[in-house]
Structure 1
Amino acid sequence: MSIALHHARVRYGPLEALHGVTLVAPGPGLTVLLGRNGSGRTTALRALAGAVPLSGGTVVWDGADATRLSAYARARRGLCFVPERRAVLGSLTVRENLELATVKDGFAPALDAYPQLLPLLPRRAGTLSGGEQRMLALSRALLTRARVVLVDEPAQGMSPTVAARTYELLSDLDACVVVAEQRLPPGLRERPDRTTYVYELRRGAVVFSGEAAEVRHGPGDTAGTAGQPGADRTEPGPRSGRRRPNPSG
């Protein structure tokens, strides 16, 4: 199980936002796209989802070329995309949002993941705080049991405790999970049971790829090893000799 961009280019009018980006997100597991605003991380996520077309390169999903698949077709095949904004249906209640995402067995698993939503069930989603809307959007993603889950800034507006819980949930999904963040979330370096892969993007290009454990601590850093020898690799892979993801799928 994997989803990948190979030499992907994306243009917004005369401006090119991605300059031949190659990245591989294996699954089950978590891959983090790091970068500041304007780095291309959100565009890379949207390209994987089919929300923006490629002007060059390919999207490869489980070894097959998925470049020409529409966003709708990718969703039908098991891809769930949670954008940073407008990720919930604001005119519907929390209960109705969850019911729309329920495949079977009801939406109890969503309330198990985020019990804070239980008293909010009758409220319209558009009246929720930013953090509450993120919980609702991610609960819907959990209910779909998708094979690929793409999330732009999953913990935005959440308290540190809820944010940590969110990343625990995402890391434990039996899916290929790709998230876009400005900084590496705390705790991902220390998980011995599952490897988290990291790509840092700057100005539409990959400047670092590796494991979360390789990312240096430091104020203002994203992937702090970028710019050091070996930090321009285009496939995530540990220096310790563990298995690297296969770019061909």
Structure 2
Amino acid sequence: MSVEIALRAARVRYGPLEALHGVDLPVPAGTVTVLLGRNGSGRTTVLRALAGTVPLSAGRVLWRGEDVTRLRAHRRARRGLCFVPDRRALYATLTVAENLALAARDRDVSAALDAYPELRPLLGRPAGTLSGGERRMLAVSRALLTPARVVLVDEPALGMSPAVAARTHRLLAGLGARGAAVVVAGQRPPAGLPAGTLAHVLRRGTVAFGGELAEFTPG
């Protein structure tokens, strides 16, 4: 199992506070890695560090062995990284159709609408008028429409019903099965992921557990 992207001894500071304390996190290609932790544990900062939206104060980001620590977020995106944050993942004043078109970049948007048929009757609605679950469906659609090598999704199922949440995790697992390195971050172990899914648990900016998701017992 080859490592697609990784943090090595990564530290991140927000002013005087250090949010990550030397985190090592390998993300294999062709699978889903679950990043678990309570609010304030550092899981969102890990995604931002991988995406390049926050700088490291120490350590490195390696992409297929190449040091990309100083590579800016838009350059990482051009190389094939898709980051779906938990907030501000959409253009609120644009319609659902316009948001999908921007994500697809002249490609067919039917994959997103097949994955989330709930969005079809909402195509003419401004994204800012959607419910929380509908906004997350639209946000996750970005990952489904982008041929990315690395997919980072923070709280993908926020506001969704259990059935839609499980479908969402299956869709993200499908991206992994097609070769992408997928990282899903949340507070609780998600349903709908295949056996062998990897997991890392963060506590106060450090990795407290690493292994298969089935081995993790919430405490």
Aligned counterpart, 1:244: none
Q: Which amino acid aligns with 1:198?
A: A
1:176 and 2:181 aligned: yes
The partner residue of 1:50 within 45, 52, 75 is: 52
How many residues align? The count is 214
Give matches, 1:205-224, under 5 Å: 205-216=206-217, 221=218, 224=219
SS in 2 for 1:117: helix
Match of 1:231 in 2: none
Letter aligned with residue 129 of structure 2: T
In 1, the alpha carbon distance for the partners of 2:174 and 2:143 equals 13
Distance 1:187 1:139, change over 3 A: closer
Q: Distance in 1 between matches of 2:17 and 2:131?
A: 34
Q: Is this contact kept in 1: 2:21–2:205, CA < 8 A?
A: yes
Report the residue type matching 1:58 in the other structure: R
> 2:83 aligned to 62, 78, 81, which one?
81
Moved over 6 A (4+): none
* Runs of at least 5 residues in structure 2 that lack an aligned partner in the other structure: none
TM-aligned CA deviation for residue 61 of structure 1 = 0.8
Structure 1 segments unaligned to the other structure (5+ residues): 225-249
Q: Give secondary structure in 2 for the equivalent of 1:76.
A: helix
Q: Report the counterpart of residue 13 of structure 1 in structure 2.
A: 15
Report the Cα distance in structure 2 between the residues aligned to 1:76 and 1:186, rounded to whole angstroms: 31
The residue aligned with 2:157 is 155
Q: Which of 121, 124, 130 is the equivalent residue of 2:123?
A: 121
Q: What secondary structure sits across from 1:172 in the alignment?
A: helix
Q: For residues 165 and 13 of structure 1, what CA distance do their matches in structure 2 show?
A: 39
Q: Deviations over 1:146-170 (max 9, x none)?
A: 1111011000000001000000000
What's 1:2 paired with? Answer: 4
Is the 8 Å Cα contact of residues 84 and 153 (structure 2) preserved in structure 1? yes
- Describe how 1:30-69 pairs up with structure 2 within 5 A: 30-69=32-71
RMSD of the alignment, in Å?
Answer: 1.1
1:196, CA displacement in angstroms? 1.0
Q: 1:185 — aligned with what?
A: 190
- How many Å separate the matches in 2 of 1:79 and 1:13? 27
> SS at the partner of 1:68?
coil
Instruction: Report the residue type matching 2:189 in the other structure.
Output: L
**Which amino acid is the alignment partner of residue 159 of structure 1?**
S
TM-score normalised by L of structure 2 = 0.95
Q: Determine helix, strand or coil for the equivalent of 2:83.
A: strand
CA shift for structure 1 position 213: 1.5
SS at match of 1:149: strand
- Give the match for residue 148 of structure 2: 146
Q: Is residue 199 from structure 1 mapped to residue 204 from structure 2 by the alignment? A: no
Q: Distance in 2 between the 1:151 and 1:109 partners?
A: 18
**Cα displacement (A) at 1:105:** 4.1
Task: Flag the structure with higher helix content.
Answer: 2
